[in-house]
Amino acid sequence: MRQQPVRPLRRGSHRSGRLSRWLGVLAWGSWALVVAWGETGMAQDRDFATWLRELRTEAAGLGIRAPTLDAALSGLRPLPRVIELDRKQPEDTLTYAQYMERMLPASRVQKGLQRLREHRALLQPISARYGIPPGVIVALWGMETDFGRLTGNFPVLAALATLAYDGRRSALFRRELLAALQIVEAGHVRPEVMTGSWAGAMGQNQFMPSSFLQYAVDYDGDGRRDIWTTLADIFASTAHYLARSGWQAHTAWGHRVVLPAHFVMPASSDELSQPCAAWQALGVHRMDGGVLPDGSEPALLVLPGGETGPAFLTYQNYQVFLKWNRSTYFALTVGQFADQLDGK
């Protein structure tokens, strides 16, 4: 609370004694407030310590050994910055055009083409094994962390413990924390170098710990699945995730299309998904003049900028992008990025 300004007093004024007493009360109140905050913080520390002991017991029941738990959990404390970021509700202020401009500038495409050339010898056998085009792997790498440059510097274990203890989504993050402890137990990464985003997404492809356990690959055969520094593991893990998520090899994720002048928007969202033949019958065609997939292929019409913006017909592989990141903007952008990298 802002204090009201106090007018200067003349020496000897009878108000000076009253002011001294008032300042004394204010000082005592401030001290009491500090003590109260301190006691709250200490109580929270005690509660967190109790919570952590319970978590340790649960983790031990999953086969995580005491030395691993000591290394991972000793000195762990909640991170206020993580709570601040979790509470902050992002505003959807970007249009699709602005998102594309920000996430897919020409400089990123050029950098992606350079990375594709640099690592083609590694990417080609991974692509052949999993059926994922090299451009898709590199596009996701570029979109997630700018090709490994921005992976996040939060300690993942502390971040996940903070969110699991917080209570808002405790069950979700408790599972992720236990998964992270299993990763440490298996020797894939040391706790002190297990870094990532404030929400626990890790490494150069930003896997959550549960996704790591399901999809991360030890491609170079060194006994560790390393998505932080080993490109072979990073690329193969990304490809494995997509393959297991239903990627269809040798098929497009989608096409930019042109809607006919007389096109009438479907009345319900269900009608946005129809076979390609139905869209063709309505006069929808590819912007580049190419041929749409087989007439029976299901196709979802996506209009990221509304009826007056660009239009896309999307297929199964677009749904796989959405499994990776449930953002229409992201899925459309990474698909177009991959097409540019693969020369489509």
For the segment 253-290, what is each residue's pLDDT rounded down to a tens digit? 999 999 998 888 887 888 899 999 999 999 999 999 99
Question: What range does the domain containing 310 cover?
Answer: 254-341
pLDDT given at position 144:
97
Confidence check: pLDDT of 145 > 70:
yes
The answer to whether 115 and 338 have CB atoms below 8 angstroms apart is no
Work out the average pLDDT over 100-120. 97
Place 193 in a pLDDT band, splitting at 50, 70 and 90: very high
**CA 109 to CA 338: how far, in whole Å?**
9
The reply to whether 332 falls in a domain is: yes
The reply to whether 297 falls in a domain is: yes
Question: Rg of the chain over CA atoms, in angstroms?
Answer: 27
The reply to whether 299 falls in a domain is: yes
Over residues 306-318, the pLDDT tens digits come to 888 999 999 999 9
**Which position has the token pair 């041929």?**
291
**Token digits of residue 54:** 């319970």
CA atoms within 13 A on the CB side of 68: 21
The reply to whether 167 falls in a domain is: no
**Which position has the token pair 């997404």?**
201
Confidence check: pLDDT of 31 > 50:
no
**CA 7 to CA 155: how far, in whole Å?**
51
The reply to whether 20 falls in a domain is: no
The answer to whether 123 and 219 have CB atoms below 8 angstroms apart is no
The reply to whether 306 falls in a domain is: yes
Of 17, 21, 20, 22, nearest in space to 3 by CA:
22
pTM, 2 dp: 0.84
The reply to whether 192 falls in a domain is: no
The DSSP letter of residue 271 is G
**Token digits of residue 77:** 């404390």
pLDDT given at position 270:
82
Of 158, 152, 230, nearest in space to 191 by CA:
158
Total count of domains within the chain: 1
Over residues 45-102, the pLDDT tens digits come to 569 999 999 999 999 999 999 999 999 999 999 999 999 999 886 656 789 999 999 9
The reply to whether 158 falls in a domain is: no
Over residues 120-139, the pLDDT tens digits come to 999 999 999 999 999 999 99
Work out the average pLDDT over 164-177. 93
The answer to whether 242 and 216 have CB atoms below 8 angstroms apart is no
